[in-house]
Amino acid sequence: MTWKQQVGGLIGCCIRKHRLLRGLSQDELGQLVDSDRPIVGRVERGVHVPSFDTIALYVAALGIPWCEIGDCIDAAGPPPGFR
């Protein structure tokens, strides 16, 4: 698994956790971020790593602080070769 895939999976878990805490379906969250259920599902499973702009849409739609996403990225550790 690459570092990007690991980070994507952790971000996806964070998004899923907060979606469920707010009682939203993937369809409902998709509407809030101008996407659809299959894409939301791919993001939550870490199959699709969203761009920074798309992550910002999820953060706003879910009302979560950016530090929640930052904590997910921190959990992955630095990318290989990073000094």
Residue segments in the chain with a per-residue pLDDT below the cut of 70: 83
Which residue type is seen at 12?
A: G
Residue 52 backbone dihedrals phi, psi, to 5 degrees = -55, -45
Q: Is the domain 3-76 a CATH 1.20.1740.10 member?
A: no
State the SS3 of 1-70.
CCHHHHHHHHHHHHHHHHHHHCCCCHHHHHHHCCCCHHHHHHHHHCCCCCCHHHHHHHHHHHCCCHHHHH
Say if CB 46 and CB 12 are below 8 A apart.
Answer: yes
Task: Output the pLDDT for position 81.
Answer: 76
| pLDDT at site 28 | 98
